[in-house]
Amino acid sequence: MRTIQGVGVSAGIAIGTVRVLAAADHAVERRVIDDPQAEMDRFRAARDMAVAQLKQLRDNVAAEFGENKAELFDAHRLMLQDPDYAGCVEGLIAQDKVNAEFAVKSVAEQFAAMFAAMDSSTMQARAADVEDVSRRVMNVLQGKRDSTAQDGSIQGDAVQNGTVQNGTVQNGTVQNGIAQNGESHIIFAQDLAPSETAQLDRAKVLGLVTAKDSANSHTAILARTMGLPAITGIGDAFDPTDDGHVAVIDGASGAVFVDPDEATLTECQRRKAEAEEHLSLLRKLKGKPTETKSGQRVHLYANISRPSDVAAVLANDAEGIGLFRSEFLYLEREDWPTEEFQFDAYRQVAQEMGDRPVIIRTLDIGADKQVDYFNLDHEDNPALGYRAIRICLTRPEIFKVQLRALLRASAYGNIAIMLPMITSVQEVRDAKRILEEAKSELRGEHTDFNESIQIGVMIETPASVIMADELAAEVDFFSIGTNDLTQYTLACDRQTPSLERFADPHSPAVLRMIQMTIEAAHRHGIWCGICGELGADLSLTDTFLCLGIDELSVSPTSVLPLRNVIRNH
């Protein structure tokens, strides 16, 4: 057995035969041409044909996966129609008297390098996009078949000697995406372009493994949309001789097992069976309202820590995101995340979620979540110390960067802001004042944002429960953080293992705190949810429903079991 570790970008387990997709040779000969104008006309005709192909591909993707997933190919069409792109190609043809294929390839490399050098992850992802669309134009110029044909898993065009010819990988050998004996398979490739991924035949392709690392690329997003387990970034471990061998891939952990031993295969088969049972539950409950038999409706959301988690949210049919732990954007960096970096992350989540709510908690640094570049002083009891909203209000220059990014991203989706670790009304008012300053700055810059963006607070301290009536008058919603609420109510540090027997989240004191919070919210006409671990505790679901909870936000994998319990209540 050979074990390879990559980056899991689309969850799921696939077991099958490997089919290696050899890298296409995109070498282009440079030729001197006599008639630059005729060559420019030739480029324009090829570009128009490529745009038409992308329109067909866009329609195919929209029909199968929805309009929001097809928007990528609208963006690809716009790239080809961009005057700067076309101007650079035509300028190179006119100035250097080179053939159109060479000009397109040269401009693609120039634009891709420019995008790859940018700080924004969103713009970096454009490098692969511009290469993809330029390759399509070159294919048309070289007379290759339309890659939007619907006859196979790799429907499309490449050339001889290890590339695709009319849908076939020579010496590889995948013909129309199907192994020659007709079996389903796992594709191993150096890389896959978004258009190639969108045209995979899911009836025959079990999963994807690529050498290049593209966890946040459109290719990874499409794999998640298509429900294909996918792993990227295996690098030098990519070996064409794996073709024909049996492999197991785990799209959650990023593990690849080539020629797995019996124990590994048995364990993966067991986990795959569990996942299929979960999928059966998904098919049964997907799109069904989360409501009891008596008609009591509950909003069922999911918790995430990073943009890549959105795939699991959508795959498990959550109705929204009830807690985006934004501090992970800080924890996973060695220096301050810029406004642009945060904006890209929040916008990506908002756009992928569409109309579904996305509740983003402002940074909750401190206590057990320490970041070196914050230069926080040592504290004997950090859980009761300088953390969360206390840092934000005493270091407003940090807070405002995040608020500006959140406001800007609110123009792209249904974003709400949630303040953690609140203990007083004054803290909320001070936070809202800084928010208003950020809004005023953005108005002055003529930057769009949602003027009526909702503001909520986390109820996770006894003080916030006692002040719930006054707090409810200041905000649009409550979300109860049961982990900290249990800790502070019972005076038990949740990081101390010896206190586990005393830190009982089912304590009547904790449940009464939850009841008081819900009642205060409803008295003031706002909704109240739970985003802590207790929300997924199925032994308490009936209790929460009886208390009148409006929303539960849990880990993505807990969504369907919880929906099932609620619908049977």
DSSP readout, 173-201? TEETTEETTS--EEEEES---HHHHHT--
Number of H helices, E strands in the chain: 20, 20
What integer pLDDT is reported at residue 112 of this predicted model? 86
Average pLDDT over residues 475-499: 87
Lookup: tokens for 449? 């944002």
Strand partners, 369: 366
**Which of 63-72, 435-444, 560-569 is least confident?**
63-72
Residue 498 pLDDT exceeds 90: no
Average of per-residue pLDDT values in the chain: 85
pLDDT tens track for 511-541: 999 999 999 999 999 999 999 788 999 999 9
What integer pLDDT is reported at residue 532 of this predicted model? 79
Average pLDDT over residues 449-459: 97
Residue 156 pLDDT exceeds 60: no
Burial degree of 420 (CB within 10 A; 0-12, 13-18, 19+): buried
More confident residue, 21 or 33: 33
Average pLDDT over residues 269-287: 82
> 124 falls in which pLDDT band (50, 70, 90)?
confident
Is 154 in contact with 174 (CB distance < 8 Å)?
A: yes
More confident residue, 258 or 286: 258
What integer pLDDT is reported at residue 21 of this predicted model? 82
pLDDT > 70: percent of the chain:
86
pLDDT tens track for 30-52: 999 999 999 999 999 999 999 99
Question: What is the bridge-based pairing of β-strands 246-250 and 299-304?
Answer: unpaired
What integer pLDDT is reported at residue 333 of this predicted model? 75
Average pLDDT over residues 328-348: 88
More confident residue, 532 or 341: 341
Catalytic annotation, pick one of 218, 268, 392, 528: 218
Q: Kindly state the DSSP code that residue 409 receives in the 8-state scheme.
A: H
Average pLDDT over residues 392-406: 95
Residue 416 pLDDT exceeds 80: yes
What integer pLDDT is reported at residue 423 of this predicted model? 96
Residue 448 pLDDT exceeds 60: yes
Decide if 218 is catalytic. Answer: yes
Q: What are the E-state strand segments in 242-376?
A: 246-250, 255-258, 299-304, 321-325, 357-361
Burial degree of 438 (CB within 10 A; 0-12, 13-18, 19+): buried
What integer pLDDT is reported at residue 149 of this predicted model? 40
Average pLDDT over residues 420-444: 97
What integer pLDDT is reported at residue 213 of this predicted model? 65
Please report where in the chains the tokens 């059966």 appear, as a residue: 280
Q: How far apart are CA 290 and CA 354, in angstroms?
A: 19
* Highest mean pLDDT: which range of 122-126, 175-179, 264-268, 403-407: 403-407
* Highest mean pLDDT: which range of 209-218, 307-316, 337-346: 337-346
What integer pLDDT is reported at residue 120 of this predicted model? 64
Residue 171 pLDDT exceeds 60: no
More confident residue, 524 or 315: 524
**Which of 23-32, 298-307, 405-414 is least confident?**
23-32
More confident residue, 132 or 419: 419
- CA 127, 72, 311, 247 dihedral sign is negative
Q: By C-alpha distance, which of 328, 355, 358, 354 is closest to 341?
A: 328
CB-side exposure of 410: number of CA atoms within 13 Å? 22
> 277 falls in which pLDDT band (50, 70, 90)?
confident
Angle at 157 (CA atoms; ends 155, 163), nearest 5 degrees: 105
Query: Please, which residues have CB within 8 angstroms of residue 481's CB and are 6 or more apart in sequence?
Result: 420, 458, 459, 460, 531, 532
Residue 242 pLDDT exceeds 60: yes
More confident residue, 74 or 153: 74
- Report residue 336: phi and psi, to 5°: -55, 130
What integer pLDDT is reported at residue 25 of this predicted model? 59
Average pLDDT over residues 106-124: 80
Maximum CA pair distance of the chain?
A: 87
More confident residue, 340 or 127: 340
Residue 161 pLDDT exceeds 50: no
